[in-house]
Each structure stands twice: as C-alpha cells, then as structure tokens.
Amino acid sequence: MDFDLVIRGGTVVTAERSIAADVGIVGETVRAVAAGLGPGQREIDADGLLVLPGGVDSHCHIEQVSSFGILCADDFHSATVSAAFGGTTTVVPFCAQHRSDHIPEVLADYHRRAAEKAVVDYGFHLIVANPDAQTLATDLPAAIDTGIRSFKIFMTYDRMRLHDEQILDVLATARRHGALTMVHAENHGIISWLGGRMVGQGNVAPRYHAVCHTRSSEAEAIQRVIALAEVVDTPILIVHVSTIEGVAAIRAAQARGVKVFGETCPQYLFLTAQDIDRGLEGAMFCCSPPPRDEAAQQACWEGLKDGTLAVYSSDHAPYRYDASGKLPKGEKTTFKEMANGVPGLELRLPLLFTYGVGAGRISLNEFVALTATRHARIYGLAPRKGGIAPGSDADLALWDPERRVEVDAELLHDNTGYTPYAGRSLKGWPVIVLSRGEVLVDQTRAPGQMLGRRGRGRFLARERSDALQPAGRPIDEIARLAAWGTPLVL
Ligand code: DUC
Ligand code: ZN
Ligand code: ZN
C-alpha cells in the first residue's frame, strides 16, 4: 500500500487553486496530492465533495473568564467538538491575564485545561491587561519563546484597557521579540460616558448597548492605535472590525505602507443592530463592537474581498441566556451588566459558504484563504496548517456543497443553548472532518458523533511569521532620530 489513507476523487481546493485530485496521507501528514494516486489501507470516496483544508479560527474565547468576571459557556472539549463539526480543525483562543494575574500561572492554567480536553489542535494568544516592568521584560518574552506569538490588548473595558503609553510599551516588546499585537479598538470614553448617561436615564435594554458603542468610537480607536503602531513601526491586527469607517481607516493606512491587518466576523456580515432591538432577548445578539447596519455589512464584505480585512474569524464568545452569562441579574440586568459576545465557532464556515461562495460574493479559493490559509500564515502556523500540500498536517474538511441545513441550536455542539443564526437556511456543509489523518466527524456513517478522543488535540507552538516583520518605514520624526545618530531605543 502506498498510503495509510487516500481521499479519492474529490475536488481539492486551496487558497491558490481548485483541482480534481486524490489526497494521499501517511500517518498524520499529507504525502501526495495528485490524480490517480496508488491505493491506501483505507479510502474515503470524495466523489462530488470539496476537499478543503480544515478551518483555522484565530479568534475564539474558550473556557475564559471575561473582563466582567464571567466564565464563558464552552470548555476546551465542547468548543473544539463544535469547531470540528463546523469544519474547523485548528483554534487559537486566548489565555487571559487579568490585572492581578501572574502570566506564567495564567499560561500554565490554560495549558493544563486545554491539554485535558481539546479534540483539535490549538495555539494561544495572550491577553495583556497589566504591562508592568516584569511583564514587559520577562513574562512576554518568555511566552513568545514557548510559541505564543500574539498578544491581544484592549482599548476599552475598565478592567482590561491600556493607556496609550502602555500600548506603546506592548508594541515595542512585540517588535523586539517577534509577536503580533491584536487590538480591540474602541474609544473607552465615548462608550463609558454614554453608558453612564443611558443607565442614568433608565435606558437599560440591550438596544442601548449598540447606541453607546458608536461607529465613531471604533473609527477613532483604530486610527489612534495605527498612529501608535507607526511610532514603533510594528505590525498590528485590528480584530472584529464592524464599521464603514473602521474598514476605511485600515485601508487608508495600508495604502500608505503601514503594516496593519484587519479581521471581521460573522456577526458583522450577517447581523445588524436591529437584532439587538428585541427587548431583553436582544442580549443574545450583544457583542462588542455591536453589529451595525446593511451598509456596514457591505463595507465588511468589500474589505474581505479586497484584502483590507485579511481574516474572517468567529470571535466565538459563548454566554448562556441565563444567570451564568447574559442575565446575571435576571430580568433586571442592564446592558452594562450582561456578558458581551455571541457563539460562532461551528457556523463560521457554513455561513460564509452560503452567503459568500453560494451568493457569488467570493470564490472558493478566497473562502479557503479567509477561513484557513491566511490565519495560518499570519499567526505562524503555515505550512503545517491552513493548506493541503505534501508535508502539511492532514487536517481536512470534506464539504458537500449541495447539503442543506436549517439552523437550529439543537443541531450545534457548543454549550451556549442558542444561536443568533437560528432559522437560516444554509447550503454547503462539512460532512467528513479529519485532524492529522484521523476522522473526527463523519456525517455519512456516524451522524452527530464525535469520533475523536477528548484530549487528543495538541498545543501548537507558533513560528515567527512574515507578518511580524516591521514595514521598515519609520515615521519622519523617528527617521530623523536615526539620521542624527541617536536612534530610538525600543
Ligand atoms: N471582545 C472580543 O474580542 N470578544 C468578545 C467581547 C469583546 O469585547
Ligand atoms: Zn475584543
Ligand atoms: Zn473576541
């Protein structure tokens, strides 16, 4: 036998091309991609199916305590099971430092919990809430050395936000040691001041959440953090971009040579602020930033299409519609007290397949780039993840492009108990999903069953990627320092 497993007769789709080919797998690895491969010990008939790299979700919250102090609804088992059923075979969730936390302990804690439960491979980003001297000089470089090559920082939330000087400190550390800084960009003053006014006026329903998180708050913060990143000349990635103005600010910065990446998420393509405006139940659609309107959705689609937004992630942040998550004070909960976030790990790919590929907005190759390949390249997981080529991990999702599914929370495998996308009719679904050559999901033979063992997922130490390379174009003032022979010391 030439291979342990052959995926035979499908259409293999990567970010670059779509070809009729077999995929030959030995052990955990793709060994060959070509038509007419020799026999395998086992074979999977992929006739009529699309063979895609498993999705890489580089923004999801799993077993994480939020800035509100609330534990999210999914642990590393339920979240990764849900990911696999939705065609995602790599996740990069967050280890979250809260202000009083010691980073080595935070990392050890997340590692332990993930190792026991994950069914797909995972990396980590590190949320930095307290960039003190010890964090900057010791803890962040040590985390990077272990393969955690990205930090997330917040410009809002009382318990998480960093001031501009602190942001510059983190950016300088990221540049010095080789990490990418992800930014939650919203103006804290606008949100907090309006929030106080709204609550004071008795306007406490979920819909006021979308009022306080103004479009201008996102636009201002994106522009500000881009200016900060330019001082240091280090790449940043703006997560969950939701507005016309936000997309435009990133596009304009990219056009003048700044290395800034953008991300958007299902909630900004498929939901609007109207979804939040349904009384208390609007809480199920509350996330930060909030969904906007059709024009903003259109801007996000255009951003994905022209590359302004490089990646499409779930920002899976699951909180149940009860006292454990969205309603800590029951019906009396104000929008300022409810956990922020919506689930999306499992439906991320099927939604984009239907409304992106199916509706003719993006090609299949762009679908793969946006859901897998670019995540792997930017975050230092390529070529092992995000592609199908000799040497890559045999992480594959076999899609039936004709399969129709009516979305219902009962169908999904996460622990949120609802989905904001209930009632939608989707076309195109992953029917067989493999991780490192092992079939985790087979909807044709074992519908609804997770075939992979709890804890089989492995930690992925990530490499320094090209995305971390500074643009090499300092702003005028910093260039002048160098010309004087007194360069900025980071
Ligand atoms: N930011 C996220 O990235 N996810 C959920 C909530 C938030 O503020
Ligand atoms: Zn965020
Ligand atoms: Zn998030």
DSSP assigned state of 270: H
CA distance linking residue 108 with residue 207, whole number of Å = 39
Q: What is the pTM of this model?
A: 0.97
Tell me how far the alpha carbon of residue 379 lies from the centroid of ligand 2, in angstroms.
Answer: 17
- Say if ligand 1 is within 6 A of residue 343 CB: no
Looking at residue 114, its pLDDT comes to 98
> Ligand 1 in contact with 315 (CB < 6 A)?
yes
**69, pLDDT greater than 90:** no
DSSP, collapsed to helix, strand or coil, labels residue 3 as strand
Q: Give the model's pLDDT for residue 412.
A: 98
Query: Which DSSP category does 161 fall into?
Result: B
Would you state the pLDDT for residue 68? 79
What is the pLDDT of the chain when averaged over all its residues? 97
Return the best residue to mutate from 68, 128, 288 for the ligand 1 pocket (most ligand atoms within 8 A of CB). Answer: 288
pLDDT for position 234: 98
In 333-479, DSSP assigns E strands to 396-406, 425-435, 438-442
Q: pLDDT tens digits for 352-386?
A: 999 999 999 999 999 999 999 999 999 999 999 99
Question: Is there an atom of ligand 1 within 6 Å of 240 CB?
Answer: yes
Give the separation between CA 36 and CA 95, rounded to whole angstroms: 45
For 243, the token pair is 């507005």
Contacts of 199 (CB under 8 A, 6+ apart): 334, 336
Give the pLDDT confidence of 382-408 residue by residue, as tens digits: 999 999 999 999 999 999 999 999 999
**33-38: average pLDDT:** 98
Cα separation, 418 vs 191, whole angstroms: 27
Using one digit for the tens of pLDDT, what is the confidence trace for 214-234? 999 999 999 999 999 999 999
How high is the pLDDT of residue 489? 94
Phi, psi of 182, deg, nearest 5: -95, 140
Q: Is residue 66 pLDDT above 90, yes or no?
A: no
- 3-state SS class at 459: strand
pLDDT higher than threshold 90 for residue 122 = yes
Residue 350 has pLDDT above 90, yes or no: yes
> For 469-488, what is each residue's pLDDT tens digit?
999 999 999 999 999 999 99
**135-164: average pLDDT:** 97
pLDDT tier at 248 (50, 70, 90 boundaries)?
Answer: very high
Mean pLDDT of 35-55: 98
> Around Cβ 9, how many Cβ atoms within 10 Å?
17
For residue 153, the SS3 value is strand
